[in-house]
Amino acid sequence: MNCIEIDLETRSDRDITKCGVYAYADSPYFAITLMSISVDGGEVQQYDFTAGDTVPEDILRALVDETVIKRAHNVNFERICLSKYLRDNYPHIFRSYSIPEDTVGDYLSPRGWHCTMIHCRTLALPSTLADAGAALKLEQQKMPEGKALIKYFCVPYAVVIDGVPQFHAPSDAPEKWEIFKTYNRQDVVAELAIDERLSRYPVPAAVWEEFYLDQEINDRGIAVDTDLADAALRIDAQAKATLSAEMSRLTGVENPNSVYQLLDWLEQQGYTPDSLGKKEVAALLKTAEEPVKTVLELRQQLSKSSVKKYTAMQAAVCSDGRVRGMFSFYGASRTGRQSSKIVQLQNLPQNHIPDLAVARDTVKYGSYEDAEMLYGNVPDLLSQLIRTAFVPRPGFKFVVADFSAIECRVLAWLAGEQWVLDTFANNGDIYCATASRMFHCKVEKHGENSELRQKGKQATLSCGYGGGVGALISMGALESGMKEEELKPLVDAWRAANPNIVRLWRDLEKAAITAVSQGTVQETHGLLFSYAGGMLFITLPSGRRLAYAQPKIGCSKFGGKCITYMGLNTAKKWDRLETFSGKIAENVTQAIARDLLFYSMQTLSHCFMVATVHDEIIIEADKRMSVDAVCEQMSRVPSWAKGLILKADGYECDFYQKN
C-alpha cells in the first residue's frame, strides 16, 4: 500500500464556511457518515458509517503511517476529520504528533498527506474540485447534485429536540442517500483523474515540506481573548443603536442604514453623490456643511465592518480557546503566497491608539459610555483593538518580526539596480535615496529637502512594476497633496533613476514571449522561461516554478505583442487573461519574497509559530526568546540569493498589535 485517495462526507451543527474544519470537527455533534477510498489507484471502496460499516485495520493503520501517501482534495479537511474519528474510536491506533511544550492539538501528522487542491494551485489551476475538472476538461468530474445533498444530510434541519440538533437520516430519503453515496465515490474518481492528468508535473518535495510547516501552524492555532471579543460585540451593538438613533433624529430617515433613503435625504440637502462608498463620503466631507457633515461622520462610524472579525473569532474558536486553520497554503496561485481565511488576518485594521492596554481594559471591563467618553469614536476603537484579541497563552509572549521593504529589495536584486542595494547595505533611507536621484539633490528625512521624501516614497511604492500615473493615484498621491499635473514627470523621474528595473520589465516580457512563440528555454536575470505541455513556466532562483496555463501570444491594448493565459478573472471565472511586463516582474518579485519567507520559517521551525501575515512571522514564545535573534535569523539569505540584502525588524508584545 503506497497511496490512498480519500473522500469523506460528514455532518456537524457548526457552519464550516464560517468556523473552519477544526471547530467543525470539535463539535460534539460531528460525525463522519461516508468514506470512500482508492488504494494505489484501484477500485473505489466505500464505507457507510450510518449502516455500521467498519474500515479495515490495515487502512486505519495506514492513516497514521507517514510513509503511506494519503491524498484528497483540500486534504486538511480529511486529515482533521479522521484525526477526530481515530482519536475517539481507535485510540490504540491514533498517534498525535504534538509535543507537551507545543500547542498543536491532537491531530495526525501532516507528513504523508498530499493535496490535489495544492497540486492544482502550483499549476495556477482553479482550486475547487469541480472547477479544476472543468478547466482540465476531464471526463470524470464532480457531480453537481452534491451541494443540495450536503445541505440535506450534513446540515441540521430546524427541529431541535432537548437541545440536540437533528439531522436527516438515510431512511428519511433512501433514494437521495444512494445518490449521495454515488457522489462520495465519484469525488474519489474525479480526484484520481486530476492526479493522473497532473502527474507529469509533480509537486516538488521542497514544496510539500513547506506545506507540512503550514499545516503545523494551522494545527497549532492562535489563542483568542474571548472575553474581549464578547465585550466588543456587545459595545458595538450599543454603538450602532446609538448612532442610528442620532442619524434618524438628524435626517428623519426611518432606516439610516439604507443607502437609498440616505441618498434621497442628501439630494434634498443639495448633495448628489453617486454612492456612499468610503471615497465618496470622504470627498463629500471636505465641503459638507451641517447637518450633512455630522450625518456623514456618523455614516462612517456605522459602516465600520471590520468588527465582524470578532464574530468570526467567536464562530471559529475551538474548545481550548484557540482559532485554527486560518491560512491557505498557496492561496495566491500565481505567486504561491499564503492567503488567509476565517478571521482574515491579512487585512486587519492597523492600531494607532497609544494606550492599547488601557483601551482593551476599557472595552473588556467597561461600558459603551466609558468607551465613548474616553475615545469618542467607538466603532473605530473596536476596529483598532481587533488585533489585540489574539493573545499568547499564559506565561508566554508574542515575538513579531517582518522583512523590511522586502519587495523593493528583491526587485532591485533581480534587476541589478546596484544603488538601491548599496542604500540598503548602508542602512540608508530608500525613500530619501530615491528622491535624491529623482530630483538630483540631497534629501534628508528631517533635514534638507525633506519635503521631497514623500514623492520618493510614493514613486517607490507605485512605479516598481511598470505603474504610471494611475498607480500613483490609486496609491493615494492626490490625497497626500500632490497635484495631478506633476504625476507624469514623477513617473518619468523614477524610471530615469532606475534604468535597470525598467530594463528588467522589458527583458522578462521578451523572454516569456520568445519561450511561448518558439518553444525554447530563455534565461534572463537568473530566471528560466520554458514552455511545455501547454504551460509557461518561470523557474525562480529557489528552483520553484510559477505556471501560466495555456499561454498564447496576443496583442496588447497598445498594439504590441503580449502574453495571454487562462486564469481566474475578477469574477472568479476561468477566462483568458492578459499580462504585461510589469505584472510579470511583480509576479516573480512577490514569488521570491514568498520563498524567502518560507526559508526563514523553516529555519525558525523549532519556534512555535502561530501565524504569518504578509511578510511577518508571529511566534508564541517563552520570556527568554530574543527578538534580535529572530530578526538576525530572518536577515540571513539562502544560498540561491547571494548578494541580496535582507533586514528584519521585530518587537515583543503581550497581545498582537502593529508596533
d(CA 581, CA 587): 10
pLDDT at 103: 58
pLDDT at 163: 86
217 grid coordinates: 501552524
Q: Which residue has the cell 532606475?
A: 498
- At 456-497, the pLDDT tens digits run 999 999 999 999 999 998 888 887 788 889 899 999 999 999
| Cβ–Cβ < 8 Å for 86, 94 | yes
d(CA 376, CA 139): 61
Q: What are residue 9's DSSP bridge partners?
A: 34
Question: Quick one: fold of 395-417+504-659?
Answer: Palm domain of DNA polymerase (3.90.1600)
- At 502-557, the pLDDT tens digits run 999 999 999 999 999 999 999 999 999 999 989 999 999 999 999 999 999 998 87
CATH 1.20.1060 residue spans of the chain? 226-347
| Cβ–Cβ < 8 Å for 529, 470 | no
Q: Note every long-range contact of 578-582, with CB atoms under 8 Å and residues 24 or more positions apart, other chains counting.
A: 578/554, 579/548, 580/466, 580/509, 580/556, 581/466, 581/505, 581/506, 581/508, 581/509, 582/465, 582/466, 582/467, 582/505
Q: What are residue 115's DSSP bridge partners?
A: 72
Which amino acid belongs to residue 481?
Answer: G
- Could you tell me which of 334, 385, 398 has the C-alpha nearest to residue 357? 385
The arrangement of secondary structure in 226-347, i.e. its CATH architecture, is Up-down Bundle (1.20)
Give the pTM. Answer: 0.93
CA 284 and chain centroid, separation? 33
- Could you tell me which of 85, 35, 56 has the C-alpha nearest to residue 185? 35
Within 10 angstroms of residue 134's Cβ, the number of other Cβ atoms is 14
pLDDT at 39: 97
- Could you tell me which of 124, 129, 158 has the C-alpha nearest to residue 141? 129
* DSSP 8-state secondary structure symbol assigned to residue 108: B
Output b/e per residue, 620-631; b: 16+ Cβ within 10 A: bbeeebebeebb
CATH 3.90.1600 residue spans of the chain? 395-417+504-659
> What angle, 0 to 180 degrees and rounded to 10, lies between the N-to-C axes of helices 292-302 and 259-268?
170
Domain 3-203 CATH class label = alpha beta
Burial of 504 (0-12, 13-18, 19+ CB in 10 A): buried
pLDDT at 57: 96
pLDDT at 345: 92
| Regions of the chain short of the pLDDT cut 50 | none
CATH 3.30.420.10 residue spans of the chain? 3-203
d(CA 421, CA 643): 9
pLDDT at 501: 97
- At 139-159, the pLDDT tens digits run 888 888 889 999 999 999 988
